[in-house]
């Protein structure tokens, strides 16, 4: 597509919601309108795209949403989007509205859908949004900073109670395949033990580290467990209580509270920069790319590279966390 032939674009939020998605939608809409490009919102992600759930978006439609968590466009999962007939139906719906290009805001599965549309010849730019920070090609994804702050607030609050009663608190975070939230939340929260999917930690070692914290006369112990660490939080708690580590163990599972809440200043700014960059890339005639944060700059990488590479956790942070748990 030539850069001067873009008249209408659509935007969707897909996969798990992440704080800052609304800020990104707002940036996409207003950047496009600034360049005299009409914008349409796809509601409920690929499910809505396949069903033709598309509506025009104006500047006032995205007013007052920058501070809201979740996504005003809503989201849904549609595994069937991998089927060619569903993809073709989605393209027909886009063309029925004379839409020239699409911005997809979401995680790995969402970006795979974007790549499929690009391979079918439809211009698409992806924007990374995933609280797990598991997307290759960007230092940070939309929603990560807010989720980390939610975890940190929980750890700080639990420490007050833990110290008052000389207890150990076991906090479960999201992270089935990637331990970023647990690791960074544990380090910034001063946890004594951090359990992540990338490191196999036997329960015997966990018990010994908690026991040593008690011997060192700590008034509390904080254990952060990523849900995919290999040990269920209940299993860990039961084991520790049986081992008489010196601390009575209590459990807190944060669950989906990590996805919600007002986006932080960092997430609002990141989402705004990425939404703006996505539209600029489309205006320049680019497609099949994801915009992301590299250092302090916004850059782009091919979506094909994004979905064929796994983002690896920097385990130097894990070793640092162990050093600081004395």
> Pick from 41, 268, 14: which is nearest to 126 by CA?
14
> Pick from 224, 223, 292, 290: which is nearest to 258 by CA?
224
- DSSP string covering 229-284: SSS-HHHHHHHHHHTT-SSEEEEEE-GGGGT-SPPPHHHHHHHHHHHHHHHHHHHT
* Sign of the torsion angle spanned by Cα atoms 277, 177, 20, 191: negative
User: How far is Cα 6 from Cα 103, in angstroms, rounded to an integer?
Assistant: 13
What's the full length of the chain, in residues? Answer: 326
What is the set of active-site residues? Answer: 132
- Residue 298 backbone phi and psi in degrees, to 5: -90, 125
């Amino acid at each position: 597509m030539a850069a001067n032939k873009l008249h209408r674009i659509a935007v969707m939020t897909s996969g798990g919601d992440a704080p800052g998605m609304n800020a990104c939608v707002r940036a996409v809409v207003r950047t496009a309108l600034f360049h005299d490009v009409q914008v349409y919102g796809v509601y409920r992600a690929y499910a809505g795209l396949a069903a033709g759930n598309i509506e025009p978006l104006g500047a006032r439609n995205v007013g007052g949403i920058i501070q809201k968590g979740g996504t005003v466009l809503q989201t849904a999962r549609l595994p069937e989007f991998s089927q060619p007939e569903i993809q073709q139906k989605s393209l027909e719906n886009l063309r029925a509205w004379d839409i020239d290009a699409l911005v997809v805001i979401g995680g790995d599965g969402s970006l795979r859908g974007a790549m499929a549309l690009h391979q079918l010849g439809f211009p698409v730019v992806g924007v990374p949004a995933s609280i797990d920070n598991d997307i290759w090609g960007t230092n940070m994804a939309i929603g990560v900073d807010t989720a980390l702050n939610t975890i940190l607030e929980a750890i700080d609050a639990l420490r007050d109670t833990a110290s008052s009663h000389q207890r150990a608190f076991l906090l479960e975070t999201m992270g089935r395949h990637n331990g970023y939230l647990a690791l960074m939340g544990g380090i910034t929260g001063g946890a004594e033990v951090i359990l992540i999917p990338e490191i196999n930690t036997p329960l015997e070692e966990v018990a010994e580290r908690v026991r040593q914290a008690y011997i060192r006369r700590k008034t509390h112990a904080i254990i952060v467990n990523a849900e995919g660490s290999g040990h269920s939080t209940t299993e860990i708690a039961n084991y520790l209580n049986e081992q008489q580590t010196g601390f009575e163990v209590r459990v807190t599972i944060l669950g989906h509270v990590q996805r919600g809440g007002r986006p932080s200043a960092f997430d609002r700014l990141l989402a705004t920069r990425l939404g703006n960059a996505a539209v600029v890339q489309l205006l320049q005639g680019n497609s099949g790319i994801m915009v992301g944060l590299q250092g302090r700059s916004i850059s782009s990488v091919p979506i094909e590279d994004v979905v064929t590479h796994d983002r690896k956790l920097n385990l130097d942070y894990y070793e640092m966390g162990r050093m600081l748990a004395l």
